[in-house]
Chains A and B, each alone.
Chain A
Amino acid sequence: MVSAEEDMSAADAPTIVELSADDVLRARTEAVAKAGIGRKAEHLLEVRGLSTHFFTPDGVVQAVDDVSFDVGYGETLGLVGESGCGKSVTALSIARLVPDPPGKIVKGSILFDGIDVLKLSPDDMRKLRGKEIGFIFQDPLTSLNPTLTIGYQIGEAIRQHMGLSEKATEERTIELLSKVGIPRAKERLKDYPFQFSGGMRQRVMIAIALSCDPKLILADEPTTALDVTIQAQILELIQTLSSEFGTAVLMITHDLGIAAGMCDRVNVMYAGRIVETGTVDELFEEPRMPYSWGLLDSLPRIDDVRGDRLRTIEGLPPVLIRPADACRFNPRCRYARDVCREKEPELTRRGGTDHMARCWATEPEGWIA
């Protein structure tokens, strides 16, 4: 009896190969090298001075303000920060999906594989979406159309962009479904979303995002709506598949643990601006911005004393209507001095590397060494 149960659960379990950290690293390095073949620019994605504003009755909300960053071919870049600091709007801007009105990209340029995304016609943009840029949304429960079969929804992008025959589309759909670890893929094509669990639906979303072999996947908090065990599986799946296909990932999350585990580099965003950027090691070992300290400090630790309150960053992010020329974090910063309230710091280098931070206190002449 017992063995039967084991057999069955093994057959039914998602087919994810367990990889050691070294394996993943090696695979990633290879994948990054492979992904660079035929590259048209130095970086897959070059965002320069991006400003996305929302024109509301209360005033202009500067949701994303002068943001610049790169995503290399095959690289995984993390975008972390608390709610409402512009992470999602940044991702939506890249895919030009910001709801207009009220949103509008007012400044900046987005070069995707050498193409200026902001200059494309709506029609050309549509051809880029789904084909070159995949999107994984936060909530798999509402991101699938309840009236269409899973098979149709996965095949939709393939039909739209790849011009395959019905049969080839179906074959590819089945292949994708089994790739993302859905058992009995062929039988489940005709199922509707409500017949899938949350984790399974997120796997379907990943299959949709990967359906046309995109060069970049924008993952907007892909695991926030899922429970922790499923979270780990989904993240591993994204990691494995992006390595396999050499896909670059822009990973948006508020969970620093996820960023540490998945990303090559991390951007910390606060109030519409990038306040710190660096490799995962730099950022987690030597953060140079009080907001990053706060984020790291607010993670629960295994050696916390039971019953202690969780540590938080006091206060809320500011409303982004006509922000003053000051460090945007200063009202919540315990190290803030007059200069922080009078002038906004620039994003400047820390040490000799690409590690950069936006903070007066940690500048070489600052008051925190």
Chain B
Amino acid sequence: MATDTLRGGVAKPQPSASLWRDAFSRLRKNKLAMLGLIMVGFVTFIAVFGSILAPYNYQDQDLTAVVANKGQPLPPLTGGHILGTDQIGRDLLSRLMDGARISMSVAIVVQIVVICIGVPIGAMAGWFGGRTDNVLMRFTDVMYAFPDLLFIILLTVVFKQTPFGQAMDGLLLVFVAIGLTTWVTVGRLVRGQMLALKETEFVEAAKAIGVSDRKIVTKHLLPNGIGPIIVAITLGIPAAILAEATLAYIGIGVQAPRASWGSLINDGQAVIRSSPWLTFFPAVCIAVALISFTFVGDGLRDALDPKLKGKQ
């Protein structure tokens, strides 16, 4: 019997579980993360197909209904408007669905900007060290110390009239501005990863067989440090959505008649006593999106933790 057991153990080749497959199988066992992933998927779906699925166009005004309601916004579940309308009869649900598109593009564009700036700067600072590190990190410190909101407002004002400032209804400029203020954390994280990893023996071994610097950084260092970077970027998404909402709330970025969740709250706030649903539903949307991305980020952090490797 012992022989059979032994034989079975040897003859069956181990499945070549890659790092990613391994991490994903652990992520799948994390219920909160999966819930977050489903919610993120749902919001993404709405963002992509919202304009088809929405019961009304986001700028159509149901004025007759509002007039019939003595000029007051329609409350939820009246006149064919599931979540009610605003003061000028625009369907809240449709506007929220359009807002999802803005929030998701904020999530993507900002993180692309963060990756494009933070990763190279952090990688260069960490890999070259010495003076390069010093210069890049002091620059990072300056960026970090600068008040974010002021910086974004300045950028949007200065570049407003350029073609870049007009792209995507002026939204691209706002997104890039948010990205320019938030890459700092990722930059520092990448640098830390590089510093820790470049002392490892496999990097020395790679140098010893004559691998070029660029290849060592891209093939050996980044894949080993990518776990925390992915987590930071995922957790950066809710921050970016929140930043966009904040800006929209103070009137920067999305232009009427389009609305993001933040500007919807801003609009609704004026009538919060008489028509609280106009503030409540956008706030729920923001909260759900933030918490979903946070769950996914936390789950990824656990799944990609090398200390948990091979465990359930």
Give residues in A with beta carbon < 8 Å to B: 1-2, 4-5, 8, 12, 95, 97, 126-131, 134-135, 137, 139, 142-148, 156-157, 160-161, 184, 187, 190-192, 194-195, 205, 208-209, 211
Contacts and interface: CB of A to CB of B under 8 A. Distances in A.
Nearest to B226: A147
Interface in B69-110: none
A128 B209 CA distance: 8
Given A97-B207, A135-B209, A143 B202 contact: yes
A192 B210 contact: no
Contacts of A146: 19, 202, 224, 306
B16 A145 contact: no
B208 A12 contact: no
B211 A194 contact: no
A209 B206 CA distance: 11
Nearest to A212: B209
Contacts of B202: 142-146
Contacts of B215: 160
Contacts of A195: 14, 16
A142 B203 CA distance: 10
B220 interface: yes
B201 A142 contact: yes
Contact of B3 (A4, A145, A147): A4
A159 B200 CA distance: 22
Interface of B: 3, 6-7, 10-11, 13-14, 16-19, 200-202, 204-212, 215, 219-220, 223-224, 306, 309-310
Contacts of B207: 97, 129
Contacts, number: 94
Given A1-B3, A8-B10, A157 B210 contact: yes
B309 to A, nearest CB: 7
A94 B205 CA distance: 15
Given A137-B204, A142-B201, A143-B201, A130 B209 contact: yes
19 contacts: A1-B3, A8-B6, A95-B208, A127-B210, A128-B210, A129-B208, A129-B209, A130-B208, A130-B210, A135-B208, A137-B201, A137-B205, A143-B205, A145-B220, A148-B220, A191-B16, A192-B19, A194-B310, A195-B14
Contact of B205 (A8, A127, A128, A205): A205
A195 B210 CA distance: 26
Nearest to B306: A146
B264 to A, nearest CB: 44
Given A12-B10, A142-B201, A145-B220, A5 B3 contact: yes
A97 B204 contact: yes
A142 B208 contact: no
A192 B209 contact: no
Contacts of B13: 184, 187
Contacts of A160: 209-212, 215
Contacts of A139: 201
Contacts of A156: 206, 209, 211
A252 B3 CA distance: 41
Contacts of B209: 129-130, 134-135, 156-157, 160, 208-209, 211
A173 to B, nearest CB: 13
A300 B233 CA distance: 57
A195 to B, nearest CB: 6
A126 B211 CA distance: 7
A144 B205 contact: yes
A126 B208 contact: no
A147 B210 contact: no
Contact of B219 (A5, A148, A208): A148
A273 to B, nearest CB: 25
A87 B119 CA distance: 38
Nearest to A187: B13
Contacts of B219: 148
A95 B205 CA distance: 11
B19 A147 contact: yes
Contacts of A190: 16
Contacts of A208: 205, 209
Nearest to B19: A147
A126 B214 CA distance: 13
Contacts of B212: 126, 160
Nearest to B6: A5
A127 B146 CA distance: 45
A194 B17 CA distance: 10
A8 B215 CA distance: 41
B10 A97 contact: no
A147 B17 CA distance: 11
A249 to B, nearest CB: 15
B223 A148 contact: yes
B129 to A, nearest CB: 9
Given A130-B209, A157-B211, A161-B210, 4 more contacts: A8-B6, A131-B210, A146-B224, A157-B210
